[in-house]
Chain A
Amino acid sequence: MLASMAADDIPSTVDAIRSSSAALTTALVPRNQFAAYPSIIEIRPGTGGSEATLFTNDLYKMYTTFFSLQRWQTTVISYQTHAETGGEGCSEAVISVATPESYDLLRHESGVHRVQRVPATETKGRTHTSTATVMVLPKLGEDEAEVENGTDDDPLAHIDMKEVRIDIMRASGAGGQHVNRTESAVRMTHLPTGIVVSMQDSRSQHKNKASALAILKAKVAEKRRKEREEEALSMRRGAVKVGAGRSDKIRTYNYTQNRVTDHRSGESSHDLPGFMKGNGLKEMIEGVREWDKQRSVEVMLAMQEIEDEKKKKEGR
């Protein structure tokens, strides 16, 4: 009697443990500093020549249909066709997503996307592997760019302005009062890390500079943080190398097997045509988000262990 009553409690207790564990994980993992912002997504071909530009175009279509499914407000900032493949290929697409919090979801899309298929241009039926690179940036408003989002307080975001190259699209000629040009694009390069940020959003060159610098700092900080995390994780896990390396490919689109696999969460979708129309993308990103949370907790543990180890040594 008592045993069966106790047994009744087990499933609900297990559920309670699970949900509080999930809540604890969520509470432990700090929210991304730019989570609340709208975003800018950039897609560019990687390796694979004109097939890569075709795949870039496929990704472009995938994201635009996904955005309209989400009813997100978007503006195409740049869409450059690739002449060689008869207008079907795309050599650069930049989309601005006005929806707040879109950065928090889309930031997980940043990275190298790989495609395996027999390209339309292939005559001998061979499978090719090509890539496209997706980059997602938070879209900072004017005020946020000015205060630089508190990145000033983040020691990892500290950069020496002497190591930043600023390129401004300039007219040849006298400048100043002589011309009323509208070109305001700014490109910034952090020389030690090679990180590049281009900004052409505002009509004010000064504002573009301010937002480019804010994003540059955030990206440098992210890179440094990742390096630190990888190091901590590989120490915790012994000699085992962590993952496939976060800078590597994040997802494979295999047309011959009708499969999309995310290499971080390990999850797959077996409806590739549907996926390319934006179906299942949200679920896959949610999976990556979960993976990212777990990983963050592990990173925190690893960091703590390194701290403890240090203290022990000092105490001795």
Chain B
Amino acid sequence: MPRLPPHLVTTARAQHPLLPLLLRQTRTLPLALSELRWLREYISQLPNLTLSRQHDHLRHLCRRRSLGAPLQYLLKSQPFGDVDILCGKGALIPRPETEETVVRLFSLLESQLHKNNHNNALLPTDRELRVLDLCTGPGSITLLAASNLYQLHLPRGFRVLGVDISRAALTLARRSLKYNITTGALPPAAKHSISFITADILNSNTHAAIEENFGDGSVDIVIANPPYVSLEGYWKDTSRSVRLYEPEMALVPPSGRDGVRREDVFYPAIESLSRRVHARAVVLETGGDEQSARVEQLFEGSGWRTGVWVDFAGVRRNVVAWGDDSWSWLATSSHS
């Protein structure tokens, strides 16, 4: 990383003595100021701290931040759409790209339901709408999906199931669920609409576990943000703070197999599972343009229709796939 220009550090110090520490990570003054403001807001909400203790704590957090600790770990959470995801060691910090994906999916679904006045083939008639979130990590997609689904007031309700291999991540996910009920972001009934289960989707026990939760084992929407970083990309493209603090297993798949690249390993597993649960729609996050192209090809090879969503940074971030034409609106290109 290039050295910060000295005049920038001087300007920062003149505004607040702790700003140069934050500047080491943020690299720009406006963002350093924002982080300082968020840290102060967080500290001012902590109970029973005298002013001088508050200041000590602020300095301590700024020091840790300067060494690369993610701000989200220091503040212990990250707002994600309408919910807050608790953050800590052992789980990936939710990303704005994923937030955008979930928000886009459910706003598209909402406008479809609106258009057809709830009277169409989109919703199952004999049971609730079912959403499966594979590789849920700290439960980010699951909780935001539920919060969005509540706003749709579906006649038969919904259920969301989050699956992950990491018990540490799921512990955090369950705590986040409780936390969002406490803050009122989710209603108390969310306890019954949301479940998390431990399973390794690269091995075959997952379907049985899903059947246990979802009676006949069928699902309507599968969403996944699986580990998709290549080993080379891990050392070359990830930021130092990511490598130092976030679990590698949430980023890089365990190993390649059957001629599939290591970074792509989860996608065939998700595809075959999606077919097995008779998913009507699949929404996936990928590492970008080339990987999206490979994933599209994989899904098309198995008979899915596919489309790609471009994220706010212009990257072809999501592959969407559907089986029958009633879901072809998924291909609607981005509006932002």
A residues lining the B interface (CB < 8 Å): 75, 77-81, 83, 87, 142, 146, 161, 166, 168-171, 173-185, 200, 202-207, 209
Contacts and interface: CB of A to CB of B under 8 A. Distances in A.
Contacts of A184: 34, 96
A110 B336 CA distance: 29
B80 interface: yes
Nearest to A186: B312
A314 B1 CA distance: 73
B305 interface: no
Interface string B51-95: 000000000000000000011100100111110000000001101
Contact of B242 (A166, A169, A179, A204): A179
A175 B70 contact: no
A146 B33 CA distance: 26
A166 B31 contact: no
A77 B41 CA distance: 12
B30 interface: yes
Contact of B312 (A80, A142, A170, A181): A170
B26 interface: yes
Contacts, number: 123
Contacts of B7: 83
A176 B14 contact: no
A218 B19 CA distance: 34
Given A179-B242, A180-B70, A205-B100, A79 B80 contact: no
B285 interface: yes
B250 A177 contact: yes
B239 A204 contact: no
B47 to A, nearest CB: 19
B110 to A, nearest CB: 13
B191 to A, nearest CB: 22
A142 to B, nearest CB: 8
A143 to B, nearest CB: 9
A211 to B, nearest CB: 12
B223 to A, nearest CB: 15
A206 B99 contact: yes
B189 interface: no
Contact of A178 (B29, B225, B229, B245): B229
Query: Which 8 A/B pairs are nearest by Cβ-Cβ distance?
Result: A204-B79, A170-B313, A205-B96, A174-B237, A178-B238, A168-B312, A179-B239, A178-B237
A1 to B, nearest CB: 71
B288 A176 contact: yes
A175 B33 contact: no
Given A174-B287, A175-B288, A180 B242 contact: yes
B34 A200 contact: yes
Interface string B279-300: 0000001111000000000000
B243 to A, nearest CB: 10
Contacts of B35: 182
A173 B225 CA distance: 19
Contacts of A178: 229, 233, 237-239, 242, 251, 287
Contact of B11 (A75, A81, A170, A200): A81
A154 B272 CA distance: 48
A175 B289 CA distance: 12
Contacts of B38: 203
A56 to B, nearest CB: 16
A158 to B, nearest CB: 16
B311 interface: yes
Contact of B72 (A180, A200, A209): A180
Contacts of B99: 204-206
26 contacts: A77-B34, A83-B7, A87-B14, A166-B336, A168-B312, A170-B312, A171-B313, A173-B237, A175-B311, A175-B313, A176-B285, A177-B225, A177-B238, A179-B239, A179-B242, A180-B70, A182-B26, A203-B75, A203-B79, A204-B80, A204-B96, A205-B99, A205-B100, A206-B81, A206-B99, A207-B79
